[in-house]
Structure 1
Amino acid sequence: MDIPVEIQNFIRVWFAAIGALCFCYYFLTRIPSGIFRLFFVLPIVYFFLILPLDLSSFHLGAPTIFYLVWLANFKLLLFCFDQGPLSSYSSLPLLHFLSIALLPVRAKHVTRVDDNNRRDREVVSDKHVIRDNNNKPIVIPQVKSEPIVTGTKIVSDRPLVQEKAFKRKYISEGKEFVSNKDATRDGSKISTHSCLIWVKLILLGAIIWAYNYRELLHSNVILVLYCLHVYLAVELILGLTVVPARALLGLEIETQFNDPYLATSLQDFWGRRWNLMVPGILRPSVYFPVRAISTRVLGKELAKLPAIFATFLVSGLMHELIYYYLSRARPTWEVTWFFVLHGICVCVEVTLKKVLGGGWQINRVVSGVLTLGFVAWTGDWLFFPQIIRNGLDQKAINEYYVLVGFFKDRLLPVLGF
């Protein structure tokens, strides 16, 4: 891999993407939402689909594919119908619009309920209505002590009894609920988070070093290393790419991972802990529309099952597409079946929880081991074979050594070392 050429291609791809989104910001926002706007957005979607084909490296290509082909395209499709994070485009400066479209960030807003209206009312900011993931205005009932709303994070100073009911309502709608007591701890978490980043970097380096002795390791040990490698690499790479947007524009970084190793069920793992940018964009683009359609046919209780399955199916197809970009090999559909299988299992899990209620629960330690064991086993069966067969694992490992050599031979002399 010629690093200077690859970096030039990388810069060219991203400047092209930024140019396309500037066209959306200055021209497409003037077009009425709906099918007519979709007609003009589809060429941009196609453009984003072909842009990553100019990249051959794993570590520059994978984030670019994820951001352009998946996140940006889905956000643009939602934008056609005034849905999703770009629906408030009229109040967003250009740089904020570009960052929110291309990266897993969101605008940070702090608003209070208007005290002039004593009835139930929308939470409004100076610029736009705060909406949930289904683009519906957040309605908060009249109480003496009103909450503060920051984006999709609800910070409450209500009495305890009211807070519990409020918490259940907003968690059920996919929002993060934080009491004032928890909110005061945010500052203390920053230093802890920084330490964890360094620990994860060291652990990732140790895993890469261990690959030198792969022929001496048991297959189960290699499987554990692969699982840890995917988790650490995805979290660190995606996290580092959005730091400039947060530092320069004050945007809020979307939560990426929430300690997935503590998951106690598949629903918990995929919905609340693993790569949360994906369910965050699939809920408004796939889950909510399918559930709304299914409700008319199956009723409210059963409608969530086809919605869950459709969400996992789309996720599988998008992963298959990412694999194609990285390997340029003909799809064999194992990774799609991986997500189809997990979609079926989550549907079964949701149904069993509904039937059994809270009367029968497995110990959290046992359920955690079973959950992670099932994810690892099915990953070894369906998720990793395409990676290993196409040499993507070795390609990623080799790039680490190439980058280290490039840093030592090219950058250190420039810095005077």
Structure 2
Amino acid sequence: MDTELHNFIFVWISVVTALIYCRYISKLIPNGPKRLFFFLPVILLFLLLPLRLTTITLSGLTAFFVTWLCNLKLLLLARGKGPLAPSPPLSLPLFVAIASLPIKISPSLGSVASKNGGGNGLKSPANYITKCLLVVSLFPLLQWSDYVHEKVMMTAYSIHMYITLEVALVVVGAAAGRLIGVTVEPQFNEPYLATSLQDYWGRRWNLMVTSILRPSVYEPIRSASGHIMGRQWAHLPAVLAAFAVSALMHELIFYYIGRKEPTWVVTRFFLLHGVAVAAEVAAKKALHGTRWRLPADVSRLLTVGFVVVTGFWLFLPPLLRCDAMAKTRRETIAIIEFVKGFVFVPL
């Protein structure tokens, strides 16, 4: 564990140093291919850095923050767009924080807080406490997984993964918000309440990814497709392209945490959902103006059911192939033992 922490510190010192370089490059070189050329070594570095980490938590989060989100932000910055290119320019601390973490600046803190149901863009404390208690209640299952049915374990692991990811991102964002005065980017909006796949992926699940994929992938593809297919259907290839990029990034993250060659099963999961979302959007356009609509409870059940069934079929197997459940169990037990040793210090 000591070696992992040393590697983690090295990785993030490298990230900060590289982003300081990018900040000054963006001030010296105008938007366009030349700026992108000077960013390419950093983008490559950010693809390699997670390989120094082995724990599922540190390598997974670092890959998500740096390899995925930060690289897309740098690609946008090369074009003079995105969260790193506001007017007036960001200060150096804000630039580094917004580039490397899932946070954003809010023009009006009050409006964001009220929109998301809590101060500084967070939900109520009771929401997070309830979810943390649910994760704690799953610890016995993780410790005794050999004696529990596989489907029950997959369900428990899915819940554990979702809540752990949400809480971890909230902690990181809230800490950064306290230090440098930015608002937390809401990551999840109770995805189990989604009434359509478009609602699930666009407004409820991992919203930071949505906010970055939209300007970096969806909008350029939609603009290009509009000249070929017309504006009415230009969004369909754009949706598929956004899901394809998400699929490739998940394959990469799964490689970081498992060090196993991809089977491209998780790519099929995201392409299937991309096709389903595109078909859903097309159906809504075809039915626009009619009164036909499913009841909310029925549409919610169908949406969540589709996500769960396809997730068990195509998403969880490649993740479990990376020994994710075993690693999670070991890391969870290690954290429990660390907390016990910290709290129950002999006098």
TM range (shorter): over 0.9
Q: What's the CA shift for 1:404?
A: 2.0
Equivalent in the alignment of 1:377: 309
1:89–1:97 Cα contact (<8 Å) kept: no
Structure 2 counterparts to residues 52-63 of structure 1, below 5 A: 52-63=50-61
Equivalent in the alignment of 1:222: 153
Larger deviation: 215-224 or 327-336?
215-224
1:245 aligned onto 2:176: yes
Relative contact order, higher structure (CA 8 A, sep 6+): 2
Equivalent in the alignment of 1:390: 322
Distance 1:71 1:243 in 2: 18
Q: Which has the higher helix share?
A: 2
Distance 1:94 1:355 in 2: 48
Long gaps (5+) in structure 1 = 111-149, 156-175
Larger deviation: 350-359 or 257-266?
350-359
Q: 1:260 to 1:40 in 2, by over 3 A?
A: same
Equivalent in the alignment of 2:11: 13
Letter of the structure 2 residue corresponding to residue 299 of structure 1 = G
Q: What's the CA shift for 1:185?
A: 6.9
Letter of the structure 1 residue corresponding to residue 313 of structure 2 = W
Letter of the structure 2 residue corresponding to residue 378 of structure 1 = T
* CA-to-aligned-CA distance 1:80-135 (integer Å, 9 cap, x gap): 0111000127531111111100011112324xxxxxxxxxxxxxxxxxxxxxxxxx
Equivalent in the alignment of 1:402: 334
Equivalent in the alignment of 2:224: 293
Larger deviation: 251-260 or 196-205?
196-205
Q: 1:383 to 1:187 in 2, by over 3 A?
A: closer
Q: 1:41 to 1:320 in 2, by over 3 A?
A: same
Equivalent in the alignment of 1:93: 91
Would you say how many aligned residue pairs link Structure 1 and Structure 2? 346
Q: What's the CA shift for 1:242?
A: 1.8
Distance 1:86 1:405 in 2: 40
Choose which of 106, 118, 124 in structure 2 pairs with 1:193. 124
Structure 2 counterparts to residues 153-168 of structure 1, below 5 A: none
Equivalent in the alignment of 2:188: 257
* CA-to-aligned-CA distance 1:198-229 (integer Å, 9 cap, x gap): 11111111112223343444444333213212
Q: 1:184 to 1:323 in 2, by over 3 A?
A: closer
Equivalent in the alignment of 1:208: 139
Structure 2 counterparts to residues 354-369 of structure 1, below 5 A: 354-357=285-288, 358-369=290-301
SS in 2 for 1:300: coil
Structure 2 counterparts to residues 171-186 of structure 1, below 5 A: 186=118
Distance 1:220 1:370 in 2: 20
CA RMSD of aligned residues (A): 2.2
1:266–1:346 Cα contact (<8 Å) kept: yes
Task: Give the percent of matched residue pairs that are identical in Structure 1 and Structure 2.
Answer: 41
Larger radius of gyration: 1
Equivalent in the alignment of 1:342: 273
1:106–1:253 Cα contact (<8 Å) kept: yes
2:116–2:186 Cα contact (<8 Å) kept: no
Q: What's the CA shift for 1:301?
A: 0.6
Q: What's the CA shift for 1:32?
A: 0.7
Long gaps (5+) in structure 2 = none
